[in-house]
Amino acid sequence: MAAASSGATTPLLADMEDDELEQDLPKPVPLSGSPDSISSISTTPLKSRRPTPLPKFQLLVLCIIMLAEPVSYTQLFPYVNDMCYKLGWAASEKEVGHISGLIDGLFAIANLLTVMHWGRLSDRIGRRPVLILGLVGLASCNLVFGLSQNLWVCVAARLAMGALCGNGVVTQSIVSELTDETNEAQAFAFMSLMWAVGCIVGPTIGGTFSRPAEQLPHWFDTPFWQANPYLLPCLISAGIMILSLASAALLLKETLPAAIRAKRANQTEQERAEERQEANEHLHTSERTYGAMDEQFPQEAVGILPRKEDRVWTTWELVNAPGMVKAMACTFLMMFVNQAWDIVFILYSYTNISLGGLSLSNIQIGYCLSFAGSVGACIQIFIFPRIQRRFGMRMYPVVLAVLLFMFPAAPVLSNVVRGIMGEQDRGDAGALAVVGGCGLAFMGRVAAMVFPLTYILCKRITPAPSALASTAALGATVAAGARAIAPWFVSSLFAWSVDLHLLGGYLIWVLMTLIVLWCVWYARDLDTALADAERVKAERLGNVDAICGP
């Protein structure tokens, strides 16, 4: 079922003949039943199916690798507005939003133009080479960003980061190839967990180590650090990326089916026999079906789809696959509203109370984001898999609806803090502003449960196992488009609302609430569209025997 409904590679013992497979493995459940029964397996609760054990070591390696991107992306959040103002890129606090939105939006624009190519490249040459190249690029560009004193050097570094980073697509594809429907929610939750951990580590690094000559004068009050006040957090982030790079190069195993076949083609018969024997010792065939995978030998124990399924799908074929337009539209809307919140929350927290913000300092913003990331990590690991297993894709619009409470709550909190504390300098608004900011950031982590749901959506909407990375890349391209538009849109809208006092300064909050409301309405029938797409895919691919035949 996993191969037909989720697009994941169907695991089989490698290089075994058909008669050997019939002897050593139980017969899979055929997919030639009624369309209703086919779709119900992937869109209804999976309580009656025993979860397949996760390949724990490979997931651990992936977690280390996945930490690099969110740290790189979020470590600048606590200080980017301060950086724009202190380095003279913005003439006043009111103009900061325009510049910081430009810096963040250009990352997404570059990612939008390149991520599809990285996904398709990983479908051709393998997952590991693309991951390694992306990590090298991220580490190098972070150092350039930290050293930049000129706005356009900073912009070029962010553009290069976005252009070189296809890591999210590749890791998403690897997780898809390591899991089936019974354990995908738990595995994809780890992807969101690492983003949540990155949202702890990144802002903490950025808030604590930016302007170190002032915040940590005992160690860093030197001319070099005074001249490069934002280098230290970038240097620490680059160190984390080097750790991720070493993990990818030394510990991660290739999961691309065609690459595994090519490797096995060069093995001797004795090596293949030893590999089969070792895999059989770790596979408990009485407890697992074709959808299972041994946790110690996730690559050696898996089989390969026939060569006719190894072809790379064209973008046009993907776009025209059943349900793809609906899935990609929901991906775009989800990313737009969540990215808009992440950006406007930081800008709102930094803005003076008199202008409708919270007047938080860099380190206070970092602590708010770190607290929210800590709570978000618990949500992703302990709560999300249970909820997803029970409700499936029906929870998608419900999670989106959390944002309906967050955007209106922000101006209410600012008014309450101003009414109680009065006008305060940055960092002096008191515990009420910090606790309120933590509460808003926490709600953002609850809304972030939509991200692993989107990973699962992209996996299941995939029209064929060989199109996993290409579909993930299409989703990442759509998401990058939203990430390119949202920062500039929401930052500029916030600045205009404050500067021109539009709707009393509340235009940003009113408009974003209406946009979220429309997004929730559009996603209301996503589960039905996914069920229809899976039904068509199952009918086209036939049953497991047809997919895995010679």
Residue 324 contacts residue 533 (beta carbons within 8 Å): yes
Residue 399: what pLDDT? 93
Residue 269: what pLDDT? 63
Residue 8 contacts residue 459 (beta carbons within 8 Å): yes
**Rounded to two decimals, what is the model's pTM?**
0.66
Structure tokens given for 276: 């089969």
User: Cα–Cα–Cα angle for 441, 446, 449, nearest 5°?
Assistant: 130
Residue 519: what pLDDT? 95
Cβ neighbourhood burial of 296 (10 Å; 0-12, 13-18, 19+):
middle
Contacts of 276 (CB under 8 A, 6+ apart): 13, 14, 15, 16
The closest alpha carbon to 523, from 515, 535, 511, belongs to 515
Residue 272: what pLDDT? 60
Residue 96: what pLDDT? 77
Q: Where are the domains of the chain?
A: 2-42+256-312, 56-255+313-541
E strand or H helix at 487, and its extent?
helix 468-500
**Sign (positive/negative) of CA torsion 84, 87, 91, 92?**
positive
Return d(Cα 512, Cα 405) in angstroms, integer.
11
Return d(Cα 162, Cα 31) in angstroms, integer.
41
| Protein fold of 56-255+313-541 | Growth Hormone; Chain: A; (1.20.1250)
Residue 283: what pLDDT? 43
Encode the chain (550 residues) as per-residue pLDDT tens digits: 333 333 333 333 333 333 333 333 333 333 333 333 333 334 444 555 666 787 889 889 998 998 888 888 888 888 888 888 888 887 777 677 778 777 876 777 787 788 888 888 887 888 899 899 889 988 999 999 999 888 889 889 988 888 887 787 888 888 888 887 777 777 887 777 787 777 778 888 988 898 899 888 888 989 999 899 999 999 999 999 999 999 999 999 888 766 776 766 666 666 566 656 555 544 443 333 333 333 333 333 334 344 444 566 778 888 898 999 999 999 999 999 998 998 889 888 888 888 888 888 877 887 887 788 778 778 877 888 888 888 888 999 999 999 999 999 999 998 898 888 777 666 676 788 888 888 898 888 888 888 888 988 988 898 877 777 788 888 888 887 887 788 778 888 888 888 777 788 789 999 999 999 999 999 999 999 998 888 888 877 664 433 333 3
The closest alpha carbon to 42, from 382, 534, 386, belongs to 534
